[in-house]
Amino acid sequence: MQEKPDYQTLGPIDYLFNRFRKIRNYTTKLCAPLAPEDFVVQPIVDVSPPKWHLGHTTWFFENFILVPNHKGYKLFNKRYNYIFNSYYENAGDRILRSNRGNLSRPLLKDVLDYRKHVDQHLVELIGKLDLDSPLLGLIELGLQHEQQHQELLITDLKYIFGNNPLFPVYQENDGDIISEFSRETCSTNYEKIDGGIYQIGHQGNSFCYDNELGIHDVYIKEFSSRATLITNREFLEFINDKGYENHNLWLSEGFEWVKKHNITAPEYWFRKGENWVNYTLTGIKPIVLDAPVCHVSYYEADAFAQWKGERLATEFEREVSSKKIDSAGRWEWTNSAYLPYPGFKKADGALGEYNGKFMVNQMVLKGASTATSIGHSRPSYRNFFHPQLRWQYTGIRLTKNN
């Protein structure tokens, strides 16, 4: 986790310098436990190799900030646009997402040199900026983007190691780099949230993504939210009650997914004799019963809520309840489809592709996870994933009607 630099004492430019260095260094620090062989693996299309994350976040700064704004800037390698462009049609042709794991070249050393080259020029550029420069906002976007990839880097690494039969250990002790075992007090308390008309969306001048804008009123009926996340102990009761086999609990698509992939437990859970164990960043460990259940899909979260006779919150309910109930270290599936807010406007050009074009067939998640950088999330933050995906730190909070 990173310290939060003090905006007030440093002033905007020094604050940005400080923040830029810390965030960029944190990405490479996350890779410190890796061996060269670990940097290239792509076990499934959703998981990108660590080397690609290192290059892509650097390309983002180079392509969107340095190339158009830093006079005389020379590309580190003009062929990198093809391999490190992720999904920006406006930025030209690119390697297929599924082929990122084929990139034995460039060497890791070359990608680290690329990072140094771009960082050096970014620092030069920041030094020349006026306080009212629009580039300050663009650089902040680059940093927020880097933080999103830091979280992906951790979850992708976990998937790479957690699907290697040797189950490599990323960190010796929980908390050396990432704390996975945040414990919730096992409680079934509920917080009542008053009904009424609430303003939804990001307010104020601080950074937000375009998908949080378009502030609008939403009527919310009084409801109650569980004060704590669902624990492994509770999820185990669902498993032992044959929850995965009871089609009455499942959405049709969800039950098809369970049958097709023979799903019997959250991602990374394995049977060891009579007991369940799970892969963690510290290796295979017994399930911590009082920790929040993690690595579940939307389908599992919804089926679990059905089993309890309750439901998942809408993204609007969860934004409102965040004033009373903090997130406890897991992204929480909501039952809201990821759609544009009324008044949503995407930016012109390539950066308009950042969020808007993904607003179909995905569900919104609220909160933050143990892998989310400090200060990166907020109540209006809208994370989104396809309903079957579960390699992120995704958990369950229940809601009930009053």
Contact map string, positions 53 to 92, toward Fe ion, x by CB under 5 A? ---------------------------------x------
Q: How far is the CB of 52 from Fe ion (least distance, A)?
A: 10
Q: How far is the CB of 153 from Fe ion (least distance, A)?
A: 11
Whole-Å CA distances, 113 to 4, 73, 149: 27, 16, 19
User: Could you tell me how many residues of this chain bind Fe ion (CB under 5 A)?
Assistant: 1
What is the number of the residue whose Cβ is closest to Fe ion?
86
Q: How far is the CB of 283 from Fe ion (least distance, A)?
A: 30
Contact present, 84 and 61 (Cβ < 8 Å): no
**Which residues, 359 to 398, sit near Fe ion by CB under 5 A?**
none
**Which residues, 157 to 196, sit near Fe ion by CB under 5 A?**
none
Q: How far is the CB of 46 from Fe ion (least distance, A)?
A: 13
What CA–CA distance (Å, rounded) separates 77 from 300?
Answer: 45
Select 92 or 196, whichever has its Cβ closest to Fe ion. 92
Contact map string, positions 275 to 314, toward Fe ion, x by CB under 5 A? ----------------------------------------
Q: How far is the CB of 123 from Fe ion (least distance, A)?
A: 21
Q: How far is the CB of 156 from Fe ion (least distance, A)?
A: 12
**Which residues, 85 to 144, sit near Fe ion by CB under 5 A?**
86
Q: How far is the CB of 148 from Fe ion (least distance, A)?
A: 7
Residues in the chain: 402
Select 58 or 86, whichever has its Cβ closest to Fe ion. 86
Contact map string, positions 327 to 346, toward Fe ion, x by CB under 5 A? --------------------
Q: How far is the CB of 263 from Fe ion (least distance, A)?
A: 29
Point out which residues bind Fe ion (CB under 5 A): 86
